[in-house]
Amino acid sequence: MRQVVIIATRFMVVGHGGGKSDDRLKELLTACLPAMSDKDRHVRKAALQTLTAALHHKPQLVVDSLPSLLLLVYEQVKVCFLVCI
């Protein structure tokens, strides 16, 4: 279920027109993106894809949270690198 909510948030970022509801979307992203440290790899993947979509389409929504989010991204890269070797 967590994965579905995060994917729905990603589609809101990509297909969202903007305006006053950007503040609400920023709150949703702030709540969803820390799921990159979730125990379920599907949830982590959805959160990482949502961050990528937000950075591509609406970077102003995540730029304030980027320092803490990058730490989570680096952890995922490290895990993937260790598993792939």
Over the stretch 8-23, which tens digit does the pLDDT of each residue have? Answer: 989 988 886 666 778 8
Q: How many domains does the chain have?
A: 1
User: What's the confidence (pLDDT) of residue 80?
Assistant: 63
Residue in the structure block whose two tokens are 């792939």: 84
Its domain, for residue 56, covers 2-84
Express each pLDDT in 48-63 by its tens digit. Answer: 999 999 999 999 989 9
Q: 16: Cβ–Cβ under 8 A, 6 or more apart, which residues?
A: 22, 25, 58
Q: What is the pTM of this model?
A: 0.82
The tally of CA atoms less than 13 A away on the side-chain side of residue 3 is 8
Contact 63, 57 (CB under 8 A): no
User: What's the confidence (pLDDT) of residue 16?
Assistant: 66
